[in-house]
Amino acid sequence: MAASSEFDYIQPQRRPQPTGGQQVKPIRRKYAKPVWSLMDKIWLGAALVTAVVMMCLVVYMSNQAAMSSEHLSQTTAQLSTVRNQNTDLKEEISQLTNPSRLDQVAKKYGLSLNNNNVRNVK
């Protein structure tokens, strides 16, 4: 095949088979190299720009998802810490307000319980 700027396209003949041992030769049609118009180039450029923008958006969204996941894990860890502290403080409050401990503290400071001075408010 000779080097040229044209493309060769081989199309078989559709003639009836000759008799007598002759072979059918394909018909070669030469097509011109396609020429890109300005509009074709604009559409190609727009498609390339769109593809690049979409790739950047995918990377950006993936990065944002990873950052959000990290922030969520940090917030969950903080929540767990605060809940543990809250549980510890509730336990300390229940220990400090235990009636037997209150009696010990009252005796330490010389206080006594006088039932005549107790009033129930409803």
Q: Where are the beta strands (DSSP E) in 12-117?
A: 27-31
Taken in order 65, 70, 76, 79, the sign of the CA dihedral is: negative
Q: For tokens 């493309």, what's the residue?
A: 7
pTM of the model: 0.51
Chain segment 39-67, per-residue pLDDT in tens: 999 999 999 999 999 999 999 999 999 99
Burial 5-21 (b: 16+ CB within 10 A, else e): eeeeeeeeeeeeeeeee
pLDDT value at 5 more than 70: no
Element (H, E) at 7: strand 7-11
